Amino acid sequence: MTPTPTAPSLDELRRRTSEKWRTYPDDVLPLFVAEMDFTIADVVADAITARVRASDIGYAGSPGRVGEVFSGFAQRRWGWQPDPAGVRLTTDVSVVIVEALRVLICPGDAVIINPPVYPPFFDMVPEAGGRVVEVPLISDDAGYRLDVDGIGQAFADGAKALLLCSPHNPVGKVHNAEELSWIAELAAAHGAFVISDEIHAPLVHRPSEFVPFLSVSDAAREVGVAAHSASKGFNIAGAKCALTVSASERIGSLLDRQPEEVGFRTSILGRAATEAAFEHGEPWLDAAVGLITDNLNLLETQLAQKIPTVTMRRPAASYLAWLDFRATGLGDNPGLPILDRGRVALHYGPAFGTQGTGFARLNTACSPEVLTEAVDRIARVVAGD
């Protein structure tokens, strides 16, 4: 029998101590931070509990079996079998990105990002010593896509790295093999690197298929670092374990320059949770993706029926809905009046770059009842009630 994740009642959820449930008062529906309401997989909970009961909560030290089980997971899900020896651990994907950039670029080097994009990207680049160069996503009637020509021009102008979001947060775009191959060739031609944040990869919806950057070509393997984690797919962000994945001797030797502490900071509980998730958690994951796609269906219907002026291009990955409020008259940051008058907390669109003006991001990884109530509240705000 497939274990099914569930969304506990609001009373139960409000007893949680994570940011999602402690930032706002109890009358607010918190649909902002990228954390699922769903209960975690039993195999993951059991793995953490077993380490605690064994008093095995010291320093992680080594990567354990994470490289091996991640390689198996990647082969089953995406047809890609990375060498476990190319997997290093650290605390989270943000650390993967910053610490990889530190050894790949020089102070002051330009690093490309593609807004609207995960807001910390704007801060991670300067934290690592680089400076941000924006090459926004193209948005047209066909949807969102990478501006490959613009990325190529930025490389030609001297950018030394691209910080890629794949699948893309907040729009849920799953980049295809052709786009990724072109980017790899461009980076190689200009002596640049690509760091691909693939944290949402386990949550791609059928019939879309995730393409790992390091799988597309020899050029990609020579210029690329991939950032992975079980944190988003299995709802264990606080467990603090992420993977820095390389697939060439060249990149591996550069990553060897990182301080030993980068890996040493990994949580031993996170390592145990990650091993269990990648090795035994796929039935739970498939069920979670099913709940998410059902909720996206519900959201589409609810918006069409109750707030037709709010539109959404359906994401192909994850549980984040990028909502366009520009026709509602709620202003540049619609999340503000929605929080103030509707008591629904969304992630403010402008945080994702100027391309987020008039937008907000909504988390659909909740119960259908909470999602429906959120739409009802937002509808009242849009109507001016």
What does the domain layout of the chain look like in residue ranges? 10-39+282-383, 44-280
pLDDT at position 3: 67
**pLDDT tens-digit map of 250-292:** 999 999 999 999 999 999 999 999 999 999 999 999 999 999 9
> In one letter, which amino acid is 165?
C
For the chain, give the mean pLDDT: 97
Which residues lie below 8 Å from residue 63, measured CB to CB, with a gap of 6+? 87, 88, 89, 263, 266, 271
Whether the predicted pLDDT of 160 surpasses 50: yes
Which fold would CATH assign to domain 44-280? Answer: Aspartate Aminotransferase; domain 2 (3.40.640)
Amino acid 61: pLDDT: 87
Measured distance CA(35)–CA(271) in Å, rounded: 19
> Does 165 have pLDDT greater than 90?
yes
Averaged pLDDT for residues 155-184: 98
User: pLDDT digit string (tens) for 67-96?
Assistant: 999 999 999 999 999 999 999 999 999 999
The per-residue pLDDT for range 105-152, each reduced to its tens digit, is 999 999 999 999 999 999 999 999 999 999 999 999 889 999 999 999
**Dihedral (Cα; 123, 125, 129, 134), 10-degree rounding:** -110
Is residue 328 scored above 70 in pLDDT? yes
Query: Region 34-48: what's the mean pLDDT?
Result: 97
Predicted pLDDT at 1: 44
Query: What are the b/e assignments for 291-327, b being 16+ CB within 10 Å?
Result: bbbebbeebeebbeebbeebebbebbbbbbbbbbbbe
Cβ distance 384 to 70 under 8 Å?
no
What is the mean pLDDT of the segment spanning 305-328?
A: 98
Per-residue pLDDT reduced to its tens digit, 293-315:
999 999 999 999 999 999 999 99
2 pLDDT higher than 80: no
Is residue 216 within 8 Å of residue 180, measured between CB atoms?
yes
Model pLDDT, residue 4 = 83
In angstroms, what is the C-alpha Rg of the chain?
20
% of residues, the chain, pLDDT over 70: 99
Class of domain 10-39+282-383: alpha beta
Evaluate whether 227 touches 197 at the Cβ level (below 8 Å).
yes
pTM: 0.97
pLDDT of residue 259: 96
Q: If you search the block for the tokens 């050894």, which residue do you land on?
A: 103
